[in-house]
Structure 1
Amino acid sequence: MSGNDSAAVRTLVVDDEQEVADAYALRLRGYCDVETAYSGETALSAVAETSVDIVLLDRHMPGMSGDDVLSELVERGYDGRVVMVTAVDPGIEVLDMPFDDYLCKPVDREDVRAVVDQQRRILAYETLGKYFSAEAKRAVLETELTPKKHREHERFVEVTERAERLEAKARRLLADEDIFAQFDEINRGEM
């Protein structure tokens, strides 16, 4: 990932041990946009207040555990990626947990950066797929409906807004203009 691409990734490091969270954040500084949270509650507030793409989450925290945070993120419909970064040895229970990757501490600088880059790419392509789906629907309806009907039809307005949000996120995470140009070149209706 080049320096220009990496800053677009928004990562939240969550660990109740401040020095551990700060150490992982330091490894990511200059590589991506990184914030820290030292409790589960603070992590959930950070995700609610800003757009976070990747959460690096410790499992064992007092109060709200990482497992509880993960469950709450799922319940809230969080659409980013979650990587458990923890000293807790995984057991069979991880098969039922909705995280995207699992790293056992200690984690070196290259592995932290590599997992962030990998999860950025996965999120970028997931977002791109959702964008292409929404934009294809919007584009074909745009050719079939009058501009007045565009503005009057609530679902058309919703899909247009959704496509715009998804496109902005996909472009932020994936520096590949060719893939957008190829999509735009496809004729989806009468012109």
Structure 2
Amino acid sequence: MEHGSDAPEKPRALVVDDEKQVADAYALRLEGVCDVDTAYSGGEALPTVEEREVDVVLLDRHMPGMSGDEVLSELEERDYYGRVIMVTAIDPSFDVLEMPFDDYLCKPIERAGVRAAVRQQCSVLGYETLGEYFSLESKRAVLEAELPPAELEANEKYQGLGERTTTLERRARRVLEDPDPLFDRFETVEREGR
């Protein structure tokens, strides 16, 4: 997003496929839906996720070196907060029951299918993020209503809430298509005890 621009940020996706043409084709299919980065190996994908807040990873299972299954395990180990769509030519078997992905698409996938899957995963991520945001904001609101400002300023956990809720709100607004009514409804709930 450019500085000074009022245009909302788009969701961020990472396409991971060792076949450059395939990765680039999926990236093109997602134009207009989200901002897309590409990685042409599993090893290249992990630093991208570490460096940038990625909302949806489209991950090929069968890659030389670090496979998609290994990338998936590593993402889980690193507590990746986003959604993963396996996009692969490998027919699924019962092993998928134990794998921590959110959707499984078998190649080839048409443009509309990729776009719909990413939009769906963005919505799910948005609502998950919104749930965490509302939970933290309601805790902050009740503390502000009941405790004196000096106590709030002295509490380290309370001080961390503001940064976390700002991050969550920014992300929810980025991945949800029309977040304003959801935030407006939250604001109308009366939480103060006095």
Q: Give the alignment's TM-score, normalised by structure 1.
A: 0.94
Give 1:76 shift. Answer: 0.5
After TM superposition, the runs of 4+ consecutive aligned structure 1 residues lying more than 3 A away are 4-7
Q: Which amino acid aligns with 1:124?
A: G
Tell me which residue corresponds to 1:181: 184
2:149 matches 1:150: no
What is the CA–CA distance in structure 2 between the aligned matches of 1:50 and 1:119, rounded to whole Å? 18
Which stretch of the first structure deviates more once superposed, 179-188 or 9-18?
A: 179-188
Tell me which residue corresponds to 1:88: 90
Q: Which amino acid aligns with 2:181?
A: D
CA RMSD of aligned residues (A): 1.6
Give 1:162 shift. Answer: 1.4
Tell me which residue corresponds to 1:107: 109
Distance 1:7 1:28, change over 3 A: farther
The match for 2:43 among 41, 44, 59 is: 41
Contact 1:6-1:31 within 8 A present in 2 as well:
no
The match for 2:17 among 11, 15, 21 is: 15
What is the CA–CA distance in structure 2 between the aligned matches of 1:5 and 1:111, rounded to whole Å? 26
What is the CA–CA distance in structure 2 between the aligned matches of 1:149 and 1:168, rounded to whole Å? 27
The match for 1:53 among 30, 39, 55 is: 55
What is the CA–CA distance in structure 2 between the aligned matches of 1:51 and 1:82, rounded to whole Å? 13
Deviation per CA, 1:22-43: give whole Å up to 9, x if none.
1111111222101100011110
Q: Which amino acid aligns with 1:26?
A: L
Q: Which amino acid aligns with 2:48?
A: A
Q: Which amino acid aligns with 1:190?
A: G
SS of the residue 2:192 aligns to: coil
Contact 1:83-1:101 within 8 A present in 2 as well:
yes
What is the CA–CA distance in structure 1 between the aligned matches of 2:190 and 2:155, rounded to whole Å? 23
Give 1:6 shift. Answer: 9.1
2:120 matches 1:118: yes
Give the percent of matched residue pairs that are identical in Structure 1 and Structure 2.
59
The match for 1:138 among 137, 140, 151 is: 140
Give 1:5 shift. Answer: 9.4
Contact 2:62-2:90 within 8 A present in 1 as well:
yes
SS of the residue 2:189 aligns to: coil
Tell me which residue corresponds to 2:162: 160
Q: Give the alignment's TM-score, normalised by structure 2.
A: 0.93
Deviation per CA, 1:71-128: give whole Å up to 9, x if none.
0001101010000000111111000001000000001100000001100111110100
How many correspondences in the alignment?
188
Give 1:130 shift. Answer: 0.6
What is the CA–CA distance in structure 1 between the aligned matches of 2:86 and 2:54, rounded to whole Å? 15
Tell me which residue corresponds to 1:190: 193
Unaligned runs of 5+ in 2: 1-5
Deviation per CA, 1:13-71: give whole Å up to 9, x if none.
00001111011111112221011000111100100000100000000001110000000
Contact 1:7-1:30 within 8 A present in 2 as well:
no
Unaligned runs of 5+ in 1: none
